[in-house]
Structure 1
Amino acid sequence: METEADVERLNVVERTGLAFLRRGCRRDDSEIRTWRDEDRARIRRLQVFAVVLCGLSGAVSAALIGAADLWLREVLVTGAEPSLFSPGSDPAYWASYGGIAVLMSLLEILAMYWVLLRSVAGIADAAGLSFSQGDAADVLTTGLSRAALDIPNPRRALHGIDPYVRASPLKLLAYTALYRVKVGATSFVVRILARRVLARSSLRVLLPFAAVPVFAGWNALIAWWVIREARVRAAGPLAVREAVAALERAGLDNDGKRLALDAVAELVVAAQDAHPNYDLLLARLCEAFDIDARVPEWADVRARLDDADAPTRHAVLALMTTTTALRGRSCRRQRRVLEDACAACDLPLGDALDVAQRRIAEGRCESE
Structure 2
Amino acid sequence: MDTEADVERLNVVERTGLAFLRRGCTRDDSEIRPWRDEDRARIRRLQAWAIGLCGLAGAVSASLIGAADLWLREALVSGSEPSFFSPGRDAAYWAWYGGIALLVSLLELLAMYWVLLRNVAGIANAAGLSFSQGDAEDVLVTGLSRAALDIPNPRRALHGIDPYARASRLKMLAYTALYRIKVGATSFVVRILARRVLARSGLRVLLPFAAVPVFAGWNALIAWWVIREARVRAAGPLAVREAVAALERAHLGEDGLRLALDAVAELIVAAEDAHPNYDLLLARLREAFGIEARIPEWTEVRARLADADTRTRHAVLDLMTTTTALRGRIRRRQRRVLESAYAACDARLGDALQTTRRRIAEGRCALE
Once the two structures are superposed, the pairs formed by residues 210-289 of structure 1 within 5 Å of their partners are 210-289=210-289
Q: Which residue type is aligned with residue 111 of structure 1? A: A
Q: Deviations over 1:155-184 (max 9, x none)?
A: 000000000010000000000000011011
Residue 105 of structure 1: aligned partner: 105
- Distance in 2 (CA, whole Å) between partners of 1:90 and 1:79 is 12
Residue 317 of structure 2: aligned partner: 317
Once the two structures are superposed, the pairs formed by residues 329-368 of structure 1 within 5 Å of their partners are 329-368=329-368
Residue 191 of structure 2: aligned partner: 191
- Distance in 1 (CA, whole Å) between partners of 2:56 and 2:262 is 46
Q: Which residue type is aligned with residue 88 of structure 1? A: G
Q: Which residue type is aligned with residue 30 of structure 2? A: S
Contact 2:7/2:137 (8 A) holds in 1 = no
- Distance in 2 (CA, whole Å) between partners of 1:286 and 1:104 is 49
Q: Deviations over 1:258-303 (max 9, x none)?
A: 0000000000000000000000000000111101101111011001
Q: Deviations over 1:208-238 (max 9, x none)?
A: 1010000000000000000000000000000
2:165 match: secondary structure: coil
Contact 1:233/1:276 (8 A) holds in 2 = yes
Once the two structures are superposed, the pairs formed by residues 43-82 of structure 1 within 5 Å of their partners are 43-77=43-77, 80-82=80-82
Deviation at 1:22, TM superposition (A): 1.0
Q: Which residue type is aligned with residue 63 of structure 1? A: S
Contact 1:131/1:137 (8 A) holds in 2 = no
Contact 2:14/2:145 (8 A) holds in 1 = yes
In the TM superposition, structure 1's runs of 4+ consecutive aligned residues that sit over 6 Å from their partners are none
2:201 match: secondary structure: coil
- Distance in 2 (CA, whole Å) between partners of 1:186 and 1:159 is 38
- Distance in 2 (CA, whole Å) between partners of 1:7 and 1:318 is 32
Q: Which residue type is aligned with residue 143 of structure 1? A: G
> Does 1:138 pair with 2:148?
no
TM-score (normalizing by structure 2): 0.98
Residue 294 of structure 1: aligned partner: 294
Q: Which residue type is aligned with residue 128 of structure 1? A: G
Residue 175 of structure 1: aligned partner: 175
Residue 10 of structure 1: aligned partner: 10
- Distance in 2 (CA, whole Å) between partners of 1:138 and 1:58 is 33
Deviation at 1:201, TM superposition (A): 2.9
- Distance in 1 (CA, whole Å) between partners of 2:44 and 2:55 is 17
Structure 2, gaps ≥5 residues long: none
Deviation at 1:312, TM superposition (A): 0.3
Q: Deviations over 1:323-343 (max 9, x none)?
A: 000001211000000000000
Q: Which residue type is aligned with residue 61 of structure 1? A: S
- Distance in 1 (CA, whole Å) between partners of 2:197 and 2:28 is 58
Residue 28 of structure 1: aligned partner: 28
- Distance in 2 (CA, whole Å) between partners of 1:100 and 1:92 is 12
Q: In terms of mean alpha carbon deviation, does 85-94 or 275-284 score higher?
A: 85-94
1:115 match: secondary structure: helix
Calculate percent identity across the aligned residue pairs: 85
Deviation at 1:78, TM superposition (A): 5.5
Contact 1:259/1:301 (8 A) holds in 2 = yes
Contact 1:321/1:356 (8 A) holds in 2 = yes
Q: Tell me how large the CA RMSD over aligned residues is.
A: 1.1
Residue 209 of structure 1: aligned partner: 209
1:84 match: secondary structure: coil
Contact 1:3/1:136 (8 A) holds in 2 = no
Deviation at 1:120, TM superposition (A): 0.1
Q: In terms of mean alpha carbon deviation, does 305-314 or 201-210 score higher?
A: 201-210
2:88 match: secondary structure: helix
Closer, same or farther: CA 35–136 of 1 in aligned 2, 3 Å: farther
1:199 match: secondary structure: helix
Q: In terms of mean alpha carbon deviation, does 132-141 or 97-106 score higher?
A: 132-141
Q: Deviations over 1:53-100 (max 9, x none)?
A: 000000000000000000000001158411211111111100000000
- Distance in 1 (CA, whole Å) between partners of 2:292 and 2:277 is 18
- Distance in 2 (CA, whole Å) between partners of 1:336 and 1:135 is 36
Contact 1:329/1:357 (8 A) holds in 2 = no
The alignment covers a number of residue pairs equal to 368
Residue 120 of structure 1: aligned partner: 120
Contact 1:271/1:334 (8 A) holds in 2 = yes
- Distance in 2 (CA, whole Å) between partners of 1:225 and 1:27 is 25
Deviation at 1:134, TM superposition (A): 4.8
Deviation at 1:9, TM superposition (A): 1.1
Deviation at 1:132, TM superposition (A): 2.0
Contact 2:33/2:238 (8 A) holds in 1 = yes
